């Protein structure tokens, strides 16, 4: 009888051990899914929050960084603070941006590029306040602050040297997302610093061929994201360089889909310049301009 009791005890103990391992693996998987927030993030762009009333000016944060390091958060005020405590979040849509989304909250979240709940993220409590960051993918987070929704990224392009191919594409897209997509080609002077001489000539010729009022323009939408409206976010990948040419993959995404375009650059006048964009499907920016 004692032998049988001991065998039963060992079996029960083993079952408990297996359950503990399964529980630990689930916690590890959840932690990996949420991603670790420590390290450096870059402010890439922002939009007015859906609850904002009237125009909302944006501070000059694009291109700056936010760093979580131990018990310190370094960034623009009020996000420059000590005594920081970080805790993981899994939020329903109703809890995003500290409950500020207009109803229906599912539609409001989707418009900001946030996928289905629960939404992972983290909360920083420090000596200047409480700040919630929500993860929308493995490289991107959003935060609501002063009636704006800010996007932060730590994709490879955010860490690239400003004069490298990825760094040039990163700075171009940050400037591009700060403007009206309808002016993407007409705002020639402001953007030409990023374009090659060949691409600049094609854009000048395209702008000179103004369509008649009853004609649909040859390029209807934003040619630099291949979309009718801006996607909610972008991630600039690592460049592939061959002599004086480079290709940089860029992922554009929203709550429903992700697309990868390949930016082609050439080396001109001692710097990298955008020369073409491969949309996939055998289509290119240069082809559309012609």
Do 120 and 144 lie in one domain? The reply is: yes
**Residue 115: predicted pLDDT:** 95
pLDDT top residue among 117 and 14: 117
Residue at 24 is within a domain: no
Structure-block tokens of residue 142: 């959003």
Q: How far is the CA of 197 from the CAs of 75, 143, 162, 185, 201, in angstroms?
A: 37, 38, 20, 15, 6
Q: Is the pLDDT of residue 263 over 70?
A: yes
| Helix (H) or strand (E) segment spanning residue 133 | strand 129-137
| Residue 32 domain-assigned (yes or no) | no
Does residue 16 have a pLDDT over 90? no
Domain shared by 139 and 161, yes or no: no
- Domain boundary among the residues 130, 153, 176 is at 153
Residue 180: its pLDDT value, please? 81
pLDDT per residue as tens digits for the range 195-219: 999 999 999 998 887 666 666 666 7
pTM of structure: 0.84
Domain co-membership, 165 together with 280: yes
The pLDDT of residue 279 is above 50:
yes
Average pLDDT over residues 140-166: 97
Place of tokens 């039963």: 8
Whether residue 78 has a cis bond before it, omega within 30° of 0: yes
Whether 138 and 164 map to the same domain: the answer is no
**Are 199 and 260 in a shared domain?**
yes
Quote the pLDDT of residue 47.
Answer: 95
pLDDT of residue 208: 86
Distances (CA, A) of 173 to 31, 176, 236: 31, 5, 9
**Is the model's pLDDT at 34 over the cut of 60?**
no
Tell me, what CATH number does 274's domain have?
Answer: 3.10.450.50
Last residue of a domain, one of 133, 153, 173: 153
Is residue 13 in some structural domain? Answer: no
Q: Which residues pair with 145 in a beta bridge?
A: 148
Residue 211: predicted pLDDT: 66
* pLDDT at residue number 159: 97
User: 228: buried, middle or exposed (CB in 10 Å: 19+, 13-18, 0-12)?
Assistant: exposed
**Bridge partner list, 290:** none
Reported confidence tier of residue 17, pLDDT bands at 50, 70, 90: very low
pLDDT (0 to 100) of residue 54: 87
Instruction: Write out the two tokens for 272.
Output: 């990298």
Average pLDDT, the chain: 86
Q: 108 and 132, same structural domain? A: yes
**In the structure, what pLDDT confidence band is assigned to residue 24 with cuts at 50, 70 and 90?**
very low
Q: Distance between CA 80 and CA 57 in Å, rounded?
A: 20
Tokens of 21: 């391992």
Q: For residues 151 and 259, is the Cβ–Cβ distance under 8 A?
A: no
- Whether 103 and 84 map to the same domain: the answer is yes
- pLDDT confidence band for 228 (50 / 70 / 90): confident
184 or 164, which is more confident: 164
Cβ(170)–Cβ(249) below 8 Å? no
Q: What are the tokens at 288?
A: 């559309």
Rounded Cα–Cα distance for residues 60 and 272 (Å)? 25
One domain for residues 160 and 146: no
Residue after which a domain boundary falls, among 127, 153, 179 = 153
How far separated are the first and last CA of the chain, in Å rounded? 90
Question: How buried is residue 78: exposed, middle or buried, by Cβ count under 10 Å (0-12/13-18/19+)?
Answer: middle
Same domain, 160 and 262: yes
Domain count, the chain: 2
Same domain, 103 and 214: no
9 domain residue, yes or no:
no
> What is the residue range of 99's domain?
39-153
Instruction: Give yes or no: residues 235 and 188 share one domain.
Output: yes
């Amino acid at each position: 009888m004692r032998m049988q009791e001991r065998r039963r005890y060992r079996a029960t103990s083993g079952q408990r051990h297996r359950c503990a391992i399964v529980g630990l693996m689930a916690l590890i998987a959840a932690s990996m899914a949420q991603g670790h927030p420590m390290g450096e993030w870059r402010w890439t762009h922002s939009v007015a929050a859906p609850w904002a009333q009237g125009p909302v000016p944006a501070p000059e944060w694009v291109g700056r960084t936010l760093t979580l390091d131990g018990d310190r958060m370094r960034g623009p005020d009020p996000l420059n603070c000590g005594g920081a405590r970080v805790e993981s979040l899994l939020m329903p849509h109703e809890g995003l941006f500290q409950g500020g989304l207009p109803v229906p909250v599912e539609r409001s979240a989707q418009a900001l590029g946030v996928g289905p709940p629960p939404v992972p993220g983290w909360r920083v409590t420090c000596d200047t306040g409480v700040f919630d960051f929500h993860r929308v993918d493995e490289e991107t987070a959003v935060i609501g602050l002063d009636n704006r929704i800010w996007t932060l990224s730590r994709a490879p392009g955010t860490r690239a040297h400003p004069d490298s191919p990825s760094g040039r594409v990163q700075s171009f897209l940050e400037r591009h997302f700060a403007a009206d997509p309808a002016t993407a080609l007409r705002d020639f002077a402001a953007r030409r610093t990023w374009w090659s001489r060949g691409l600049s000539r094609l854009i000048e010729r395209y702008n000179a061929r103004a369509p008649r009022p009853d004609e649909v323009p040859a390029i209807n939408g934003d040619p630099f994201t291949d979309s009718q409206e801006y996607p909610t976010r972008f991630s600039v990948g690592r460049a592939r360089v061959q002599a004086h040419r480079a290709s940089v993959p860029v992922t554009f995404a929203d709550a429903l889909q992700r697309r990868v375009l390949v930016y082609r650059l050439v080396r001109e006048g001692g710097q990298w310049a955008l020369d073409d964009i491969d949309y996939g499907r055998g289509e290119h920016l240069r082809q559309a301009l012609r």
